[in-house]
Structure 1
Amino acid sequence: MKKVCSVLVGLSFVFAMANGTLAETEWHSGQTSSTGSTSGSTSGSTSTTTAITGVVKDIVTGAAISGATISDGSHTATTSSTGSYTLSEAAGNYTLSVTKSGYQQTYQICTVVSGAATPVNWSLTKAYGNQYIPASAMSYAVFAWNDLGMHCDQDDYSYFCVLPPFNTLHVQVFRHGGESSLVTSGITVSYSFPKKTNSTLHTNFWDYAAQFGWNVAPNTGITGTPLSGTMKLDANGKGFVAEGIPITPYDDDGTWDPYGTAVITVTNSSGQVLQTTNVVTPVSTEMMCSNCHTGSNPQLDILQKHDDHSNTTLVADYWSGKVHRCSECHADNALSAPGKAGVESLSLAMHNFHKDKMKATATAAALTPDCYNCHPGPKTACMRGVMARAGKNCHDCHGDMNTMASSVQNGRQPWLQEPKCGNCHDAKHQENANTLYRNSLLQNGPDGDMNNRIYCEACHNGPHAEYTTANPADTVITKQLQGDNFWIWNCNVCHSNYSVRAMHR
């Protein structure tokens, strides 16, 4: 019988081992979690007494934390010198909490099933909140973030195109003061990359772009967005966006840096600079096809195997000088490409065909997580956010490759319906209804004045890179505004002389 433990964040983070992957029904957009809770009470059968067991550790050091108290509101347990505990419970749904002096109190939703032990592990964040807030001396607070935490492109486009150079940045600007105000007019927001001024130095994408159906000038993305320029107001009218920036992981001098920095500059109508900040624009070419497609020419091997499996003529087309992008035939919502009728979407084709091939070679089998065989990657380490630091892996949110494939076969729309924060966190921390995390806005702020105004990612950063991340480059803005590398937790980042309170009510 499946045991489900979900995560609830207060001002810390927990690692909840869910004994496998999330239920396949949990991907639906706007769906609430199947692991609802009532603090200090139970639901379902109460006839069988079982136990919740786990270990409490420090999220940074991994050291066991003794003397921590785990409670469901009625029953408590205290961790031993090894950080372990056992909490006797009847079957049902619970909201657990853990407290320890010097650490942030943390909560976790848990479902206990009859006759089975339920593992609930915790990774705690040290207490914080006494430092000076640099933003209190600023006239403007500028938030900037990348939407996905990582984008992918290729080193070589001479054989085929999976994804073009493409990155997206978002910015929100707030006028600092007693009543902070969102600024969306009368200013210009621009972006530039001091170390990455010419993408054509390190990619041949524009040599083949027209064949792929994109007639764009060098250093211009497929949406018409240049490598540097002015951002436009986003579709919600809440901030500024540059979508489709054609950046690569290479600096002009050839240095490979998947965490390159964009400089964001905010000016008024007179051209006066109001504020600047730096934001990581993550992109990697570390798609590890060569882990399985071995030999002298892995890309040609891919084309040949596609021909063998699907009766296509990709190799012959290549030798005649014609190259293809995958989304010509395979629908790809990331590129708004409809594909061809009767052909599996790119996501389904990739995950379904390769789901039993991750152990095809010793190199592929040894890679952890196995998703790094295709997604960037052991060198890039794109899974660097607070969830990864607490021990969560790709499978905990997305499922394994079998789950990825079956969810699409059962109707999930890749890129448009993704894992939901609300599947594991409580209602206070879930996305807006029928809205992805990257597009969601705060709905339950302490005073209401920030509701429907500030994006979740402005305070928490993009998925796979949630604050606080293992990569110091990601936390430039939080250090600039708040003086630490945590998520935005202090009201005085935007307001003046506000008492600090919980951001979600």
Structure 2
Amino acid sequence: MQKKKILVVSLVVCAVVTLVFLSLPKKGVTATNTGWKVMVSNDLGIHCTCPDSSLISILPPANTLRAQVFNGSEIVTDPAKIRVEYSVPFADQLMTDPQYLTYLDNANKMYPTQEGWAKVSRTNPVSIVGTPLKSGKFVSKPEHNMWVAELIPVFPPKQPAGGEGTFKDAFGDIRQAFPKVTVTVKDAVTGAVLAQNTNTTTPVAFANCCTCHREIYKDKFGQYPANPLDSFRQTMLAPHDLKHNTDLLKLTQAGIPVRCSRCHMDPAVGGKTPGYPLSLYPAAAGLRLPIPAKTMTLSMALHQGHNLKNEFHTRYAALGFKESCEACHPGKETVGCMRGLHVNMTTASGKKLDFNCSDCHGDLNMRFATGQLLDPWSYRTLPRCSNCHKSNIGEWTNAQIEKYGKIQFGGAYLNSRGHADNKILCTSCHGSPHAEIPSKISWENIFYSTFNGGKAAPLGKCYGCHTDAGYSGWGRPPHGMSDNLAP
């Protein structure tokens, strides 16, 4: 009997303790030093996609954001403490955009689910790896001290009124190339908002293919095509079929859009060249299908194919571009991809910087001669900051990148870290590639101005994160190449 009483009392005590525990308020993380902040950058200056995916696609909509979250000077990557989310305010607008819908309707024809790609549709608007369009969560990458939202399927939204950051597409629509999304850091326990950046850019535009191909169509047929896609049928696919003994034009007539990277290796979409197996494309039976190229990367095919044509060089010169890159890439003279300090800064001596693409990347002849296009999107072949700046700025060598872990495809700038025992991404303080602060796009400077006393400059003061501005011995981050920018 005594044992039963003890058992009952014990159960009652446990129940009371449990109820008290459940009734206690949830306790989240505590802010320290200068509080919470989130530094967000993009992995490219601008992402190119195609305005219509029903015929041909070089790249799908895919925008990757990298975030570093700080509580004071502490980098936080623990999902048990915080969660990092993004939201796309123009997502609903894209869902009524006929051009964007061609991506949703045709994505799995180019990226079949049987190969492991995500199911994409109008009822499931996600990227080819399953990242949602409207909102989603960043994934923690503690080994790189960051959070990543990979391949968000954003598209340049229409902005008929024009204004800063807009361009006119092949269909006559005015679009925004630097649309803003919101990145929010929340307490994983309480859901309280700890930090938020409402000016995060997801830069995306269209390649300038129509600039020349519409003109070539006009030269051949005496008038511009009624549908811009006809210029690609007649001046891109048909010549490819004739030269390489393929039936790409018939492939599209069978309802299968051409995805260039199915035959030409492209690290931006995984680097695989699966070709067109009939098991996935039974409608292609009887057609002369292209054979995956073993050495002809997509970068090499596109650059070499254009560079060998005299017509290409005369056309871009006639259009007034300073160099050939601008004829295809959404550069500084068209959309404005190249918008960072290299074209938007006056040095301490009063010199206005006005770089061209080739000042860093080299011209095509040099890139061919050095084999850069055989190994595209790589830290081994892309330009380095140290090519011009002093060598002790913290940029990692190839050996360091390979030893400590490559973060992603791309150059040394994207794969380097420094400060705080090599934990801080270069892009967190300096901005995204081609958009190094100060940027010509005003809203890309807002976050940096907040921590720089109102000046658009790379993060250059210790008090942005630390309570003791002189703790380091420098009083500023330990490399002097940006001294003339610091407020």
TM-score (norm 2): 0.69
1:211 matched to which residue of 2?
109
2:444 maps to 1:503: no
1-structure distance, mates of 2:293, 2:337: 33
Equivalent of residue 205 in structure 2, options 284, 293, 318: 284
Query: Gaps (5+ residues) in structure 1?
Result: 1-134
The counterpart of 1:307, out of the listed 241, 262, 266, is: 241
- After TM superposition, the structure 1 = structure 2 runs for residues 79-94 of structure 1, keeping only pairs within 5 Å, are none
Structure 2: distance between partners of 1:235 and 1:147 = 18
Counterparts in 2 of 1:298 and 1:404: CA distance versus 1, 3 Å:
farther
Which amino acid counterpart does residue 417 of structure 2 have in structure 1? L
| 1:152 corresponds to | 48
Any residues of structure 2 matched to 1:214-253 within 5 Å, and which?
214-215=112-113, 216-218=119-121, 219-227=125-133, 228-234=135-141, 236-251=143-158
SS in 1 for 2:313: coil
Distance 1:350 1:320 in 2: 25
Structure 2 CA distance for aligned equivalents of residues 410 and 220 of structure 1: 30
* 8 A contact 1:214–1:222 mirrored in 2: no
The match for 1:267 is 186
Q: Give the equivalent residue in structure 1 for 2:336.
A: 381
Structure 1 residues 270, 362: CA separation in 2 closer, same or farther (over 3 Å shift)? closer
Deviation at 1:256, TM superposition (A): 1.2
Map 1:401-420 → 2, pairs under 5 A: 401-408=364-371, 412-417=375-380, 418-420=382-384
1:351–1:404 contact (8 Å) kept in structure 2: no
**1:318 corresponds to which residue?**
252
Aligned partner of 2:296 among 344, 361, 370: 344
Match of 1:397 in 2: 360
Aligned amino acid, residue 128 of structure 2: I
Alignment of 1:401-480 (within 5 A): 401-408=364-371, 412-417=375-380, 418-434=382-398, 435=401, 436-442=412-418, 445=419, 450-480=420-450
Distance 1:362 1:428, change over 3 A: closer
- Asked if 1 retains the 8 angstrom alpha-carbon contact of 2:57 and 2:260, the reply is yes
> When you count strand as a share of all residues, which structure comes out higher?
1
Deviations 1:409-467 (A, max 9, x none): 7854444531111222222225212232112111xx4xxxx121110000011111111
Alignment equivalent of 1:166, drawn from 50, 59, 62: 62
CA distance in 2, matches of 1:188, 1:410: 39
The number of residue pairs the alignment matches comes to 362
Asked if the contact 1:144–1:477 (Cα under 8 Å) also holds between the matched residues in 2, the reply is no
1:159 Cα deviation from its structure 2 partner: 1.2
Rg larger for: 2
CA distance in structure 2 between the aligned counterparts of 1:492 and 1:136, rounded to whole angstroms:
13
**Which residue is 1:17 aligned to?**
none
Query: C-alpha displacement at 1:292, in angstroms?
Result: 4.1
- Residue in 1 aligned with 2:464? 493
Greater length-normalized contact order (CA 8 Å, ≥ 6 residues apart): 1
Tell me if the contact between 1:142 and 1:171 (Cα under 8 Å) persists in the aligned partners.
Answer: yes
For 2:57 and 2:213, locate their aligned partners in 1 and report how far apart those are by CA, in whole Å.
19
Report if aligned partners of 1:261, 1:281 keep a CA contact under 8 Å in 2.
yes
Unmatched 5+ residue regions in structure 2? 1-30, 114-118, 161-172, 218-224, 274-291, 345-352, 402-411, 480-487
More helix by share: 2
Question: What letter corresponds to residue 276 of structure 1 in structure 2?
Answer: Q
Question: Cα offset for 1:341?
Answer: 4.3
Q: Secondary structure at the match of 1:381?
A: coil
Q: Which secondary structure state, in structure 2, belongs to the residue aligned with residue 361 of structure 1?
A: helix
Aligned-residue Cα RMSD (Å) equals 2.5
Distance 1:164 1:221 in 2: 8
Q: Report if the CA contact (8 A) 1:159-1:318 is conserved.
A: yes
Cα deviation, residue 305, structure 1 = 1.7
CA distance in 2: counterparts of 1:290 and 1:365, whole angstroms: 9
Q: The residue matched to 1:395 in structure 2 has which SS? A: helix
Q: Among the aligned pairs, what percent are the same residue?
A: 31
Instruction: State the Cα distance separating 1:262 from its structure 2 match.
Output: 1.2
Distance in 2 of aligned mates of 1:290 and 1:307? 22
Offset of residue 338 of structure 1: 2.7
Maintained 8 Å contact 1:288/1:372: no
| 2:74 corresponds to which of 171, 178, 181 | 181
Q: Does 1:361 align with 2:315?
A: yes
What are the superposed Cα offsets for residues 370-413 of structure 1, whole Å, 9 maximum, x if unpaired?
21211114331111111123122100111112223333378544
Pick closer, same or farther for the CA change 1:137–1:343 going to 2, 3 Å: closer
CA deviations over 1:129-149 (Å, ceiling 9, x no partner): xxxxxx999511221111112
Q: Is the 8 A contact 2:140 2:147 kept in 1?
A: yes
